[in-house]
Structure 1
Amino acid sequence: MQVIAVTARKGGVGKTTLSMHLSVLAAAGGRPALLIDTDPQRSLAWWHQLRGPDEPKLIEADARELPDLVAAARREGFGRIIIDTPPHAEDSILAAMRAADLVLVPTRPGPLDLAAVASTLDLAQRVGKAPLAVINHAPARTGSAEPAIVAEARAALVAMGATVAATALANRVAMSHAILTGSTVNEHEPDGKAASEVAALWQEVEAALAAGGKKAR
């Protein structure tokens, strides 16, 4: 079983949306996936109610419960766990990071968002994890090259010492349409650009899990 924590100390960067979309792909591998919603806003739980009984399963929990929940999920045969975390709550973020095999840190490409990433990276370093930064809510490509703001964000993250996913997720209306139906873009519009980006990111996540998400000591 592998555990992915989606974390950021800044709100509005797309943690919950990312958790939704990756959890459905995680559940497609033959073993059930589990979502754990530790954000008091419970946006993930709201989406899950729209979705109905379909995979993945979801638990609403306090971060302090994570060790017991992860152990129980392992006994019950879950293949992947994805933990959605609240912003600003350092203790909750640290608890999720400690439980995780891979820490994802989504960020918008704007300067204020990037300025807030450093503190999340510092938390990951504190618990010995090497996070994967994900550029989210980015302008869509209009040609073969990345938009300048995305390239600049990527360079800034690398300068902070972060590993950055090659796939940037564009700010596409298909995401909102899918969420309102309790689905994801890979289900709602499987041949669309948003679905292609999410699938490409999931391949990177799987590769990072295979390589190991722990920081060398």
Structure 2
Amino acid sequence: MQIITIAARKGGVGKTTLSMHLSVLASAPGAPALLLDTDPQRSLAWWHRLREADVPNLIEADARELPDLVAAAKREGIKRIIIDTPPHAEDSILGAMRVADLVVVPTRPGPLDLAAVATTLELAERVGKVPLAVINHAPPRTGSAEPAIVAEARAALISMGATVAETVVANRVSMSHAILTGSTVNEHEPGGKAAAEVESLWNEIKALLDRPARKAR
């Protein structure tokens, strides 16, 4: 079983949006992913109620319940779990990180967002995890080179010692449109730029999870 925790101490960086999209891509025929919504705002649960599709499965949970829920999911044969976390509850974030095979840390490329990333990276280090930083809500690329603010954010994250995803997820209106219909961009606008970015990020995450060193849970 593979467990992905999406965490950031700062709100508004796109944790829940990524959780939605990755959970759909993580689902396979006959093997839906399980979403665990540990954020008291329950935005994931709201989106899930709008969905017409049967996948992913979702459980609203408290972080203290995660070890028992993970054990139960393993007994049920669940292959992948995505955990969405609240922004400010350190104990909840740590609990979700502890059970994870991979911690994904999204951040906007702005200076205040990057300044806040360090605390999340420190939490991951405290529980022995090597997080993957993802530049999210970025300006769309208009040429062959990354926008300057994205390149600067990548350099700043690397200087913090973070592993940074090659894929950058841009701030696109199609994301909001998809969520309002209870879907993802890959379902709502397949073949679009947003769908391609999310799928590219999932492929990066999947490659990290499938490395032999990460299989020994």
Which category of TM-score, normalised to the shorter sequence, fits these structures?
A: over 0.9
Q: CA RMSD in A?
A: 1.2
What is the aligned partner in structure 2 of residue 54 from structure 1?
54
What is the aligned partner in structure 2 of residue 18 from structure 1?
18
* CA–CA separation in structure 1 for the residues paired with 2:138 and 2:29: 28
Aligned-residue offset at 1:210: 1.6
* CA–CA separation in structure 2 for the residues paired with 1:178 and 1:87: 23
State, as a whole percentage, how many aligned pairs show the same letter: 80
After superposition, where does 1:134-153 map in structure 2 within 5 Å?
134-153=134-153
- Give the TM-score taking structure 1 as reference length: 0.96
After superposition, where does 1:30-49 map in structure 2 within 5 Å?
31-49=31-49
What is the aligned partner in structure 2 of residue 104 from structure 1?
104
Deviation track 1:153-180 (CA, whole Å, cap 9, x = no partner) reads 0000000000000000000000000000
Aligned-residue offset at 1:208: 1.1
Deviation track 1:24-46 (CA, whole Å, cap 9, x = no partner) reads 00003652210000000000000
**Aligned residues of 1:178 and 1:188 also touching (Cα < 8 A):** yes
| TM superposition outliers: structure 1 runs of 4+ over 3 Å | none
> Structure 1 counterpart of 2:40, which letter?
P
User: Per the alignment, in what secondary structure is the counterpart of residue 145 of structure 2?
Assistant: coil
* CA–CA separation in structure 1 for the residues paired with 2:107 and 2:55: 27
**Aligned residues of 1:21 and 1:198 also touching (Cα < 8 A):** yes
* CA–CA separation in structure 2 for the residues paired with 1:128 and 1:29: 33
What is the aligned partner in structure 1 of residue 192 from structure 2?
192
Change (3 A) 1:213 1:86: farther
After superposition, where does 1:71-86 map in structure 2 within 5 Å?
71-86=71-86
Change (3 A) 1:158 1:47: same
Figure out how many residues of one structure are paired with residues of the other and give that number: 214
> Structure 2 counterpart of 1:28, which letter?
A
- Give the TM-score taking structure 2 as reference length: 0.96
* CA–CA separation in structure 2 for the residues paired with 1:175 and 1:32: 22
* CA–CA separation in structure 1 for the residues paired with 2:29 and 2:53: 18
* CA–CA separation in structure 2 for the residues paired with 1:28 and 1:51: 17
